[in-house]
Amino acid sequence: MIKNASAVWKGGIKDGGGTISSESGVLRDAPYGFNSRFEGGKGTNPEELIGAAHAGCFSMALSMMLGQAGLTPERIETKAAVTLEKIGDGYEITASHLTVTATIPGADQAKFAEIANMAKVGCPVSKLLKATVTMDATLNT
């Protein structure tokens, strides 16, 4: 399976800008640029998109692994905080921290933590990232 996305950039790094689009059309010419990446301006940025992909991938992996353990989640909410740091003359994505809160009838904290950690390691996006992936996992009771 191959999924496609594209980006178009025009101009210099600070005065230019670009758009990001996805094959599905969910993202269609979504604006991004220096201001949205480094200065909190309007538009998206690569780190935000990686975070969304990581949170979504992890949530799906956790749901699958819970099902394999005979548990069905009512709700899984995952947030991903992706860290971009200046390293030397450039920038690196150095970490992605997942914060997950789930409501899972019949689950106990120990089993939830075990399965959540398996999902953190097994999620395809986690495998893609060379950054340190950490997590806080809370089971609602």
pLDDT tens by residue, 70-89? 999 999 999 999 999 999 99
Residue ranges making up the domain that contains 74: 46-140
* In a shared domain, residues 84 and 28: no
- Rounded to whole angstroms, how far apart are CA atoms 120 and 116? 6
Give the start-end residues of each E strand in the chain: 5-10, 17-22, 30-32, 75-87, 90-103, 132-140
pTM of the model: 0.90
SS3 55: helix
* In a shared domain, residues 56 and 114: yes
Q: How far is CA 87 from CA 65, 75, 91, 94, 130, in A?
A: 36, 38, 5, 10, 15
State the CATH number of the domain containing residue 99.
Answer: 3.30.300.20
pLDDT > 90: percent of the chain: 91
Per-residue pLDDT at 90 exceeds 90: yes
Contacts of 24 (CB under 8 A, 6+ apart): none
Per-residue pLDDT at 40 exceeds 90: no
Q: How many helices and strands (H and E) does the chain possess?
A: 4, 6
pLDDT tens by residue, 52-74? 999 999 999 999 999 999 999 99
The answer to whether the beta carbons of residues 76 and 113 sit under 8 Å apart is no
Per-residue pLDDT at 112 exceeds 90: yes
* In a shared domain, residues 28 and 64: no
pLDDT at 28: 95
* In a shared domain, residues 55 and 78: yes
Per-residue pLDDT at 141 exceeds 90: no
* In a shared domain, residues 65 and 128: yes
pLDDT at 47: 94
Give the chain's domain count. 2
* In a shared domain, residues 126 and 94: yes
